[in-house]
Structure 1
Amino acid sequence: MVTKAPETRIVDSYRIACDGGEGALGHPRVWLSIPPATGFVECPYCDCKYIHHAFKDKLSAA
């Protein structure tokens, strides 16, 4: 069995909501704040990584 890698999304806002994106199979909606110093945040439920567009070239290869 192979585990899928967590998803990475580029966003325009420093405050975002994540609900797992799978309707009833997702998770409770949580609001996450991207720290301006790091440029990214990970969802504590689904491990999706949200990268602010200003940091995409710096972090997408990491």
Structure 2
Amino acid sequence: MCPGEIVHHKNRNKLDNSPGNLQVFPNQTEHDKYHKQTDLWFKLSRKSFRRIRRIRW
């Protein structure tokens, strides 16, 4: 890796360092942009899952 590069764990598990789970960003700014684009979807997905789980159980 080059100085300043950031490793992102796709499945959000920092203990899972398998190559398919890692994505390298050139810098923290690009990593932050990625999270701004994807975190809302991730949060909404989790809320929906919890809601569905409550209904089912």
TM above 0.5: no
Q: Which has the higher strand share?
A: 1
TM-score by length of 2: 0.29
Larger RCO (alpha carbons 8 Å, 6+ apart): 1
